[in-house]
Amino acid sequence: MVSEGRQRIDKWLFFARVVKSRSLAAKLAQSGRVRVNRDKTDQASHPVKPGDVLTITLDRQVLVYRIVECGTRRGPAEEARTLYEDISPKPAPRAKGLPEQMAPLRDAGSGRPTKKERRATDKLHDED
């Protein structure tokens, strides 16, 4: 059995509201996308305790949480936030010139032909 002060990683992820369901938490842990103190885990039953640091790789972000306490239920978000301390790195600021670096606008008449130009071309080909 699990010793006192420890909890399965899938239950803790579910109680801390990192994922929506416990089965998703188990899949996340089994896929190797959760690290406990820098060590990859591939078991949903891996025990965690207060003081452990979890690195969780989600679709578009990486979360780094320090476990403060083990959960007893999946409660409201305010209660879930008391289970961990967020030590994730701040996201890099976006470049201010990003919209200017988008694809430039084309001059009229360049690029693909308009519908009117295509009809004129088809008309020339049909006359031959």
CATH number of the domain where residue 57 is located:
3.10.290.10
Residue 107 falls inside a structural domain: no
30 Cβ contact partners less than 8 Å away, ≥ 6 residues apart: 42, 43, 44
Does some domain include residue 114? no
pLDDT digits (tens, 9 = 90+) for 16-35: 999 999 999 999 999 999 99
**Which pair of structure tokens corresponds to residue 80?**
């879930």
Q: pTM of the prediction?
A: 0.70
Distance CA 46, CA 36 (A): 9
The model's pLDDT over 75-110, given as tens digits with 9 standing for 90+, comes to: 999 999 999 999 998 877 766 655 556 666 667 667
Look at the chain and report how many structural domains it folds into: 1
Q: Binning pLDDT at 50, 70 and 90, where does residue 1 land?
A: very low
